[in-house]
């Protein structure tokens, strides 16, 4: 009596045959995972159980296997599981060593069931998130407080301020950022003009496209787009530089010599961004309006002089002031986020990358929050 599972005559086959030592599981043919191989689920295990009930042993024999891969090992593992569940001895002694090794590794690599008692529930997750948010807010508040104290100290002792470092940072975050800020701002002006043209042409108010683009760029988009560009370009660079210095124990050396890292590294960078952000914002406003003027001339046939006159009539000093206030705030946010994440970084290469990423995300998040707060505040003030 024998129990078999065969795909084709030349392909993989499995057959259970009783012998004097128990039941022999004869395996033959080509066992390739890309071909048709017998599955243990299709094997007649009920009849096999009747055979092995008396013998109590199942011994696989792979002497007739011509070629094999993991499909054979998987079949043997399932056979072993079946034997273990039915209290049958699975005798692997006849298997070659090159099959026993992956079979053993496959058994040891099984996915262990998740301990349900150790799963975090919703309340525990919410609690951990709240504690993490509290710690982050506390660290940010302490860092801002140290920066304010350091700024007052340096204002009373201006000779201690590192003017050379500040000027170098102003060049890096200001002059060297002009191309990317100009390109982004011009394209934002083009996009706003196209969106406005779709709506305003329906009502015959083509000329008001100058009003839309000018107010959007000067009050909101100029400062915001500049802030977003500098968050990725400058904020991430600040975090990476300071984190790299922390990894190389340069900041520890500063502290050893009695030099406060806030005075030496942080304040010059924040001051440089607070000075350059309004200038870059004005530059962004100009390029954005130039993009709107280009679309108005090409799409709506509005002359540049008419666009300029309409733009002048739409803007007043309060619009420009609100944009500049936002730009200064965004600059301080970018500087604080970049330096804070750099000082919080771990002392390894992965910590440097994580600090740069975290600085960019933090700066963008707080810029959006600040923009929303300013929108409500300026609306209340009537600006």
* Contact in structure between 326 and 282 (CB atoms under 8 Å): no
pLDDT value at residue 367: 93
Q: Indicate the SS3 state at residue 220.
A: helix
User: In this structure, are strands 3-6 and 57-68 parallel, antiparallel, or unpaired?
Assistant: unpaired
Which position has the higher pLDDT, 40 or 214? 214
- Average pLDDT on 143-148 reads 91
pLDDT averaged over every residue in the chain:
86
Q: What backbone torsions phi and psi does residue 58 show, to the nearest 5 degrees?
A: -125, 120
Q: Which residue has the tokens 């506390």?
A: 138
What predicted TM-score, i.e. pTM, was given to this entire model? 0.67
Centre a 10 Å sphere on the Cβ of residue 249 and count the other Cβ atoms it contains.
11
The per-residue pLDDT for range 298-307, each reduced to its tens digit, is 988 889 999 9
| % of residues, the chain, pLDDT over 70 | 91
Q: Which of 298, 264, 266 is nearest to 147 (CA)?
A: 266
Among candidates 277, 265, 268, 179, which has minimal Cα distance to 228?
A: 277
Place of tokens 């807010």: 137
Cβ neighbors of 66 (< 8 A, separation 6 or more) are: 28, 29, 30
Q: Which residue has the higher pLDDT, 5 or 338?
A: 338
Residue 1: pLDDT band (50, 70, 90) is very low
Percent of the chain residues topping a pLDDT of 90: 39
* Residue 110 structure tokens: 């099984």
Please give the pLDDT value at position 187: 94
Answer yes or no: is pLDDT of 322 > 50: yes
Q: Transcribe 292-321 into DSSP letters.
A: HHHHHHHHS---HHHHHHHHHHH--HHHHH
Q: Predicted confidence band at 288 (pLDDT cuts at 50, 70, 90)?
A: very high
166 CB-near residues (< 8 Å, 6+ apart): 268, 269, 271, 272
Distance CA 298, CA 182 (A): 20
Q: Give the model confidence (pLDDT) of 103-119 as tens digits.
A: 888 877 766 666 666 66
For residue 67, the cross-strand partners are 30
Cα-Cα-Cα-Cα dihedral sign, residues 289, 291, 294, 299: negative
Angle, vertex CA 72, rays to CA 57 and CA 82, nearest 5 = 35
DSSP characters for 150-219? HHHHHHH-GGGS-HHHHHHHHHHHTGGGHHHHHHHHHHHHHHHHHHHHHHHGGGT-GGGHHHHHHHIIII
Q: Is 41 buried (19+), middle (13-18) or exposed (0-12) by CB count in 10 A?
A: exposed
Q: What are the pLDDT digits (tens) for 184-243?
A: 999 999 999 999 988 888 888 888 999 999 999 999 899 999 999 999 989 999 999 999
By mean pLDDT, which of 53-57, 336-340, 358-362 is the weakest? 53-57
Complete domains list, the chain, with CATH: 13-108 (3.30.750), 161-381 (no CATH)
What is the model's pLDDT at position 328?
94
CA 173 – CA 153 distance, rounded (Å): 25
Tokens 């050396």 appear where? 253
Are the C-beta atoms of residues 337 and 331 closer than 8 Å to each other? Answer: no
- How far is residue 362's CA from residue 334's CA, in Å, rounded to a whole number? 8
- Do 306 and 207 form a contact (C-beta atoms < 8 A)? yes
Q: Do the Cβ atoms of 277 and 230 come closer than 8 Å? A: yes
């Amino acid at each position: 009596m024998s129990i078999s599972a065969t795909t084709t005559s030349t392909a993989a086959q499995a057959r259970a045959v009783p012998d004097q030592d128990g039941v022999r599981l004869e395996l033959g043919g080509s066992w390739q995972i890309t071909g048709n191989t017998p599955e243990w689920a299709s094997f007649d295990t009920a009849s096999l159980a009747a055979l092995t009930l008396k013998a109590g042993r199942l011994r696989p024999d792979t002497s007739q296997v011509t070629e094999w891969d993991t499909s054979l090992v998987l079949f043997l593992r399932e056979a072993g599981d079946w034997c273990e569940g039915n209290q049958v001895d699975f005798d692997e002694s006849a298997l070659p060593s090159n099959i026993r090794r992956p079979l053993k590794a496959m058994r040891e690599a099984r996915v262990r069931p998740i301990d349900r008692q150790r799963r975090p529930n919703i309340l525990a997750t919410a609690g951990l998130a709240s504690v993490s948010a509290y710690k982050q807010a506390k660290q940010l508040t302490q860092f801002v407080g140290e920066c304010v104290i350091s700024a007052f100290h340096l204002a009373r002792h201006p000779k201690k301020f590192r003017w050379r470092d500040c000027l170098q940072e102003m060049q890096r975050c200001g002059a060297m950022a002009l191309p990317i800020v100009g390109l982004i701002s011009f394209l934002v002006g083009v996009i706003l003009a196209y969106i406005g043209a779709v709506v305003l042409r329906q009502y015959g108010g083509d000329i008001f496209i100058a009003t839309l683009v000018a107010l959007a760029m000067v009050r909101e988009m100029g400062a915001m787009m500049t802030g977003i560009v500098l968050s990725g370009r400058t904020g991430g660079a600040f975090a990476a530089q300071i984190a790299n210095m922390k990894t190389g124990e340069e900041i520890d050396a500063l502290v050893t010599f009695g030099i406060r890292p806030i005075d030496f590294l942080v304040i010059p960078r924040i001051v440089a961004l607070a000075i350059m952000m309004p200038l870059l914002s004005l530059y962004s406003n100009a390029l954005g309006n130039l993009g709107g003027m280009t679309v108005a001339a090409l799409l709506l046939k509005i002359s540049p002089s008419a666009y300029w006159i309409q733009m002048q009539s739409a803007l007043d000093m309060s619009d420009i002031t609100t944009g500049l206030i936002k730009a200064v705030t965004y600059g301080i946010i970018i500087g604080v986020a970049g330096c804070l994440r750099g000082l919080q970084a771990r002392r390894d290469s992965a910590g440097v990358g994580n600090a740069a990423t975290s600085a960019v995300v933090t700066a963008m998040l707080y810029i959006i929050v600040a923009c929303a707060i300013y929108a409500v505040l300026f609306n209340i003030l009537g600006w």
